[in-house]
Structure formats: C-alpha cells, structure tokens
C-alpha cells in the first residue's frame, strides 16, 4: 500500500514562494472550498505533476510556474510504501527532478538512472498516470473516467489493477524470443541448403579420384586421430576443471578484504591504546605500591628521620590503596578489552585466511587449466604438422581420396548437427506458439479477468444500490458495459444524465480501490473528489456518497466543493482565498 504523508509546493500556479504543505494523514475527511480560481485543485495538480510530470488540468508544463515570480517552482511529495519512505522533488526554472529515500531517519538522494521516471512508476509506485487517476482521483473537469476510456485503455487499467503487467512483460520477452528463434531458423535453413550443395560436389570429387595415397596416409591418419583423441581427452579435463572452477567460484567468501584489513588495523590501534593505558596504570600502581610498602614498614621519614604521625600514615596508606585498586581495575578492564579486541582481530584474520585459501585454490585450478591448454596446443600443433605432411604426400601421389572422404565425413557430421539444430528450433518455435496462446488476451489474462469479473460487477452494483441507482450495471470480458433497467431498454452509459453517470463513475472508483486493496497493487490511502458533488449529485446522492465514504478504512479523503451544507460532514475544512496575486490556505 502507498501511504501519502504530505504534499508541498511553492511558486506553483497561483501559489507564491512560501511553501504550502498539506499533511494528508492528519484527517480522515477534508473539505477544500473557496471561490472559483482561488486554487482549490492546486493540491491535486501538484500531486500529479510531482509524481508523473503531468497535472490533471490541460496546460503546458511551463504554465504551471507562478506567473508573478516566474521561477523556482518546486513540488514535493512524501509517501511510504513497502516499509520505506520516499520523497519526489520536481520543479522548473531551474529544472529539478530527484528521488529521495529515508535511510536511518535521514532523506538521502538516490543515484539518478537513465530513466528516473520509469524507475519511479515501475519499481516504486508500480502504477502509471492513467491507472493512478482511476483509483485516486475523480474530477468533474479535465478527467477521463473509466467508462470514457476506449476498450484498450480499459484493459490496461484493469491489467495493472489485477497485477497482470507481469504477463504483459512476459509477452514482450516472448516476442523477442520468437524473433530470435525465427532468426536462427532462417540462418540454419540457409546453412542446410548450402551444405547439401557442398556434399553433392564432394561426392563427385571422390567419384573422380582414382588413386590411393597408400599405407603412409593411413599411418598419418592414425597419428592425427591419436592427436585428436588426446586433445579430446584434454578438452574433457578442461570441462571438468571448468566445472570445478565454477563450483569453487560459487563458494567465494563474501568478504571485503580491504575493509577487513582496515578494520584489523583499527582494532590493533585500539589494542595498542588500551595496552598503553594498562602499562601506564601498572607503572603507577607499582610506584604507589612501593610507596605503600615503605609507609607500612617504617615509622620514621626517610628524609628527615622524624616520626610519621599514625593518622597521617594511615591516611596515606588508605589513599595509596585506593589508587592501587583504581589502577588494578584499569589494568583488568584494559586487559579484558585487549582480549576482546584480539578475539575480533583473530576473527577478521580468519576471514582473510579463508579468502586466501579460496583464492589459492582458484589459482591452482587456473594453472592446471593453462597447463592442459598448453598440452592441447601441443597436440594441435603436432596434428597440423601431420596434416601438412599428409597433404604434401597426397599432392605428390595424387592420392586425395582419403582427404576428400574425411571432408565429406566432416560435412556429414555437420549435417547431423544441423538436423539436430533444426529439430531444436522447431521445438522452440512450437513452444513459443503455445506460450503465445497462453499469454494472449484470450489466454491466462482472459481466465484471470473472467474470475474477477463477478467481483467487479457485484461490487459496482453494491455501490450503485447504496447510492439509490434504479438499474444494474455489468461489464463483459472485453469491458463493454451492459445496463439493465426496469423501465428503459437499449440504453448505454452515454444515455445517462450527469447524476446517473456520476453514480456509475463513483461506483467503479470505489470498486477499483477495493480490488486494489485486495490485490495489494495500486492500493493507497489517498482519495480526491473534485467538484463532483457540485455538478452532478443531488442532496440524496451526496448523502449516499458520504455513507460510502464513512465506510472506507485507512483512507484520507479530500473533497473539493462549494456546497455549504456539507461542511459539518468533514473532520477538517481548508478554505482557499486569493490575497493579492497569491492563494492562501486556512486550515492546513
């Protein structure tokens, strides 16, 4: 769930340089009222502009900058989602766009990405402008309600509502995969056709050859085969070594050696400091103890030989004992701290030793691999020499049959591989086709939507009944509406009066919010209703709407309206006035 905490703006539309902040979570139901043009909907435009770079009103972005100050327009939205608090800062003149995240109670700016807006919508808010406005906002102007969207846009909103965007992403990835498979198929088919032509030509060459290169050729072939065999064995060993290396590499200790060494140096410095304190305390204690021994063993002063007063003597011994005890405690505490820090040094050193052991094993495996690679290179070098010798012999004796046959065998082997690849590609193409059917609008999405349609329709009709509607409303799997009434036939959403249409729009809005809370997708605490009560709902409709609003849990509702008779229905009233060239807000 997204919990919006506060929205703040300055030099935005009719607001001046002094920041205006609305604390969203302070009240459950807030009424915003004021004269036309005072700036009642500025709160909503600032929120949408900050989140999506797109206000609700149809204006160019530069027109959002206050026309008097003409600079330093800034909007800030603070919200919490999935346990983390974020702030988005967006403004113009100069351009501002940054994302802040709370870390240990402090807002820290996050590193900018190539597409920060995409990151905010896909990873943090997990919604876009179109879906957000269907769940959070309902306005009488500059607002496209769900029923006014085309079927494609309706599907986009519902897909995001039901968290079906993952299937859309999978569809895109599948399209890329199918394109890659098709490309491989074209390449393999071209190679297959070319290879058939080469094999036919090679067979004609073999048929034309009439002489054999003799026993020497056979000996060279055996030696070449032996080189291939040994090289093959070495390659198997390399594969095994790579497997061991990968397995060992996967066990790499999660340790920052530089940081650990720095930590050890710091710990050793602390140990040195504590040892110095211990030595100093021990030296002082020895001196005090020696002095105490003198006073305990002598009654006369060692300098003037006068008799030492017993009371004075006992006071000195008591003071020296206290000092010795204090220094003893210091020695014990510093020694204990040294042991504690030494244990930490040993613990850190063990991590370094473990990393060193792991690194040494990596080095050994890589050295073994290099040695085997050198052996393979030697076998290949010897094989090349043998092949050159064989070729020379073939050229000399005109005995090229074996060489031609070998090339043919290689081509046949390549053909066998191509046949296997063609089979794999055919299987991949079939799988892509099956997956495409599953991910199509008539596949999994249709199944999920079909399961949720009864919930959509039942919830919409529940809210319609609550608001006294005398008709039933149904959406089909293509999100086309069917409206049934006892007294009217053949009518659609466009046939309704403003009041009836508003009841449908509000019912869909509340249904979307309920579905979003169930699915935990575009669930939020914020709901804004802008002048809907003024333009389309009568007194009964307003009472029915307020009954629904009072049932909404964990929701902070902002209603923009001129109606005076509804003031007592709200926890808080914000009055917007125009003083001079700037809007002021009383009640925030």
What pLDDT does residue 27 have? 94
Q: Which one of 170-174, 301-305, 328-332 scores highest in mean pLDDT?
A: 328-332
Q: Which one of 160-174, 443-457, 541-555 scores highest in mean pLDDT?
A: 541-555
What pLDDT does residue 46 have? 96
Q: How confident is the model at residue 215 (pLDDT cuts 50, 70, 90)?
A: low
The whole-number average pLDDT for the span 478-489 is 71
What pLDDT does residue 210 have? 47
What pLDDT does residue 296 have? 86
Cα dist. 110→92, 107, 128 in Å? Answer: 20, 9, 21
Phi, psi of 479 (to 5 degrees): 65, 30
Helix (H) or strand (E) holding 2, with range, is strand 2-10
Q: What is the model's pTM? A: 0.53
The whole-number average pLDDT for the span 330-338 is 92
Query: What gap in Å lies between CA 378 and CA 376, rounded to an integer?
Result: 5
Query: What gap in Å lies between CA 585 and CA 568, rounded to an integer?
Result: 19
End-to-end CA distance of the chain: 24
Query: What gap in Å lies between CA 348 and CA 264, rounded to an integer?
Result: 7
Phi, psi of 491 (to 5 degrees): -130, 155
Query: What gap in Å lies between CA 572 and CA 22, rounded to an integer?
Result: 12
Return the structure tokens found at 202.
């090679």
Helix (H) or strand (E) holding 426, with range, is helix 401-439
Indicate whether 547 pLDDT > 80: yes
Q: What is the pLDDT of residues 86-107, one digit of tens each?
A: 999 999 999 999 999 999 999 9
Indicate whether 421 pLDDT > 60: yes
Task: Evaluate whether 211 touches 397 at the Cβ level (below 8 Å).
Answer: yes
Q: pLDDT exceeding 70 applies to what percent of the chain?
A: 93
Q: Tell me which of 100-109, 417-426, 443-452, 461-470 is least confident.
A: 443-452
Cα dist. 107→104, 204, 364, 431 in Å? Answer: 8, 79, 47, 48
Give the gyration radius of the chain's Cα atoms.
42
Three-state secondary structure call for residue 21: strand
Query: What gap in Å lies between CA 559 and CA 573, rounded to an integer?
Result: 10
What pLDDT does residue 206 have? 75
Q: β-strands 84-92, 106-109: how paired?
A: unpaired
Question: 94: cis peptide before it, omega within 30°?
Answer: yes
Of 59, 52, 188, 64, the C-alpha closest to 128 is 52
- Residue showing tokens 């604390």: 23
Indicate whether 364 pLDDT > 70: yes
HSE-CB for 89 with a 13 A CA cutoff: 17
Q: Is 12 exposed, middle or buried (0-12, 13-18, 19+ CB in 10 A)?
A: buried
Q: How confident is the model at residue 61 (pLDDT cuts 50, 70, 90)?
A: very high
CA–CA–CA angle 40, 42, 46 (5° rounding): 155
Strand locations in 246-344, DSSP E?
none
What pLDDT does residue 486 have? 59
Phi, psi of 10 (to 5 degrees): -150, 145
Task: Evaluate whether 193 touches 416 at the Cβ level (below 8 Å).
Answer: no
Q: β-strands 471-475, 96-103: how paired?
A: unpaired
What pLDDT does residue 83 have? 92
Indicate whether 14 pLDDT > 80: yes
**Count of CB atoms within 10 A of residue 207's CB?**
10
Return the structure tokens found at 180.
């890659």
Return the structure tokens found at 396.
């000399």
Average pLDDT value over all residues in the chain: 85
The whole-number average pLDDT for the span 245-260 is 87
What pLDDT does residue 546 have? 83
Q: How confident is the model at residue 579 (pLDDT cuts 50, 70, 90)?
A: confident
Cα dist. 481→108, 145, 147, 489, 545 in Å? Answer: 47, 14, 8, 14, 22
Helix (H) or strand (E) holding 75, with range, is strand 73-81
What pLDDT does residue 38 have? 83
Query: Does 447 or 141 have the greater pLDDT score?
Result: 447
Beta bridge partners of 90: 75, 97
Q: What is the pLDDT of residues 258-303, one digit of tens each?
A: 898 899 999 999 999 999 999 999 999 999 899 888 888 888 877 7
What pLDDT does residue 441 have? 67
Indicate whether 527 pLDDT > 90: yes
Annotate 389-400 with DSSP letters as a single string. Answer: HHHHHHHHHT--
What pLDDT does residue 74 have? 97
């Amino acid at each position: 769930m997204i919990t919006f905490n506060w929205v703040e703006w300055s030099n935005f539309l009719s607001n001046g340089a002094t920041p205006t902040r609305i604390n969203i979570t302070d009240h459950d139901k807030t009424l915003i009222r004021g004269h036309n043009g005072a700036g009642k909907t500025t709160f909503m435009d600032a929120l949408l502009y900050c989140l999506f770079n797109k206000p609700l009103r149809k204006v160019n972005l530069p027109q959002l900058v206050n026309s008097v100050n003409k600079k330093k327009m800034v909007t800030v939205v603070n919200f919490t989602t999935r346990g983390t608090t974020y702030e988005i800062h967006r403004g113009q003149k100069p351009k501002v766009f940054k994302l802040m995240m709370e870390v240990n109670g402090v807002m820290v700016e996050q590193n900018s990405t190539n597409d920060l807006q995409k990151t905010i919508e896909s990873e943090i808010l997990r919604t876009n402008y179109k879906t957000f406005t269907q769940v959070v906002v309902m306005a009488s102007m500059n607002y496209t309600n769900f029923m006014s969207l085309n079927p494609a846009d309706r599907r986009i909103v519902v897909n995001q509502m039901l968290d079906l965007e993952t299937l859309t992403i999978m569809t895109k990835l599948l399209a890329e995969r199918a394109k890659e498979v098709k490309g491989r198929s074209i390449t393999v088919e071209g190679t297959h056709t070319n290879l058939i032509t080469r094999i036919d030509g090679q067979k004609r060459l073999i048929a034309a050859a009439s002489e054999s290169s003799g026993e020497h050729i056979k000996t060279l072939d055996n030696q070449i085969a032996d080189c291939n065999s040994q090289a093959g064995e070495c390659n198997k060993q390399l594969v095994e070594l790579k497997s061991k290396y990968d397995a060992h590499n996967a066990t790499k200790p999660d340790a920052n050696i530089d940081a650990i060494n720095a930590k050890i140096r710091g710990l050793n410095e602390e140990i040195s400091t504590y040892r110095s304190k211990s030595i100093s305390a021990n030296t002082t204690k020895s001196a005090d103890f020696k002095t105490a021994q003198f006073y305990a063993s002598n009654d006369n002063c060692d300098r003037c030989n006068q008799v030492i007063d017993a009371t004075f003597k006992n006071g000195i011994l008591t003071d020296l004992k206290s000092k010795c005890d204090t220094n003893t405690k210091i020695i014990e505490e510093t020694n204990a701290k040294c042991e504690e820090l030494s244990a930490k040094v040993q613990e850190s050193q063990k991590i370094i030793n473990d990393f060193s052991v792991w690194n040494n094993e990596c080095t050994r495996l890589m050295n073994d691999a290099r040695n085997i690679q050198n052996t393979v290179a030697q076998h290949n070098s010897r094989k090349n020499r043998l092949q050159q010798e064989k070729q020379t012999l073939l050229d000399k004796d005109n005995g090229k049959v074996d060489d031609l046959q070998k090339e043919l065998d290689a081509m046949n082997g390549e053909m066998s591989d191509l046949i296997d690849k063609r089979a794999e590609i055919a299987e991949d193409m079939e799988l892509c086709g099956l997956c495409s059917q599953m991910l199509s609008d008539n596949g999994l999405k249709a199944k999920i939507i079909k399961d949720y349609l009864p919930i959509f329709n039942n919830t919409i009709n529940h809210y319609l009944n609550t608001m006294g509607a005398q008709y039933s409303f149904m959406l089909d799997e293509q999100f086309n509406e069917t409206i049934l009434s006892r007294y009217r036939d053949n009518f659609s959403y466009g046939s309704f009066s403003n009041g009836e249409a508003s009841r449908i729009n509000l019912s869909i809005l509340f249904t979307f919010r309920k579905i979003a809370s169930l699915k935990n997708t575009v669930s939020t605490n914020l709901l804004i209703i802008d002048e809907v009560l003024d333009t389309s709902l009568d007194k009964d409709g307003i009472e029915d709407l307020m009954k629904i609003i009072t049932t909404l849990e964990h929701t902070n509702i902002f209603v923009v309206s001129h109606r005076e008779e509804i003031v007592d229905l709200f926890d808080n009233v914000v009055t917007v006035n125009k003083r001079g060239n700037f809007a002021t807000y009383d009640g925030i």
